[in-house]
Amino acid sequence: MAQSPQPASPPAQQYRGNRSAVLLKDLKKLLGKVGPGFITGAADDDPSGVATYAQTGAIFGYSQLWLVWFTSPFMIVIQQMCGRIGMVTGKGLAGVILDNYPKSVLYVTVSLLVVANTINIGADLGAMASSAQMLLGLPFLFWLVLITGSIIALEILVPYKIYSRILNAHSACPPSCIVFLVLLPQQS
């Protein structure tokens, strides 16, 4: 008689004795739980921010480092307040404003947010295009159109579940870090 094929061993048995595979599995589980909070935490490391930090560092060196001690408590308190408001109410900031203030306040707040985000996106696209121009030499406008088109295509064509993984990967090691690691050996 022909023997029926034995079922594959469960994943847990496959990892037995392979410590690096177990650590990788645990890391994937941890990163799966981190999700959007990890992206939000890395959000200030956007291209326009990195360009600004690089220019400020080149001009002023460490002379403005004292500001970290002054501004960090404010940033921590704002993040804590927003997180706690969301946890307690189960709503975002717009929902809380709508519940407690007239609609006109909400409209003004959302309008200001749209303007600020539009300016920030423009600055990010400009910083990415400028960086690509410096590294690869093609015209700024070419890179601006290519990067903008690529981002729009990804957002429209790629399912959210896959796109969020791409964003998580870029948050863990932003492209600016990769460029830094590539260019570092050339400096010596």
Q: Check residues 6 and 106 and name the one with the higher pLDDT.
A: 106
Looking at residue 110, what is its pLDDT? 94
Structure tokens at 99: 């519940």
Looking at residue 137, what is its pLDDT? 87
Instruction: Tell whether the model's pLDDT for residue 61 goes beyond 60.
Output: yes
What is the pLDDT confidence band of residue 65, given thresholds at 50, 70 and 90? Answer: confident
Chain centroid to CA 167: 6
pTM to 2 decimals? 0.62
Looking at residue 54, what is its pLDDT? 81
Is residue 143 packed enough to be buried (19+ CB in 10 Å), middle (13-18) or exposed (0-12)?
Answer: buried
pLDDT tens-digit readout, 126-178: 988 998 898 888 999 999 999 999 989 988 999 988 888 877 777 666 665 66
The three state secondary structure string of the chain is CCCCCCCCCCHHHHHCCCHHHHHHHHHHHHHHHHCHHHHHHCHHHCHHHHHHHHHHHHHHCCCCCCHHHHHHHHHHHHHHHHHHHHHHHCCCHHHHHHHHCCHHHHHHHHHHHHHHHHHHHHHHHHHHHHHHHHHHCCCHHHHHHHHHHHHHHHHHHCCHHHHHHHHHHHHHCCHHHHHHHHHHHHHC
* pLDDT (mean) for 28-40: 65
What is the pLDDT confidence band of residue 64, given thresholds at 50, 70 and 90? Answer: confident
Structure tokens at 178: 């990769």
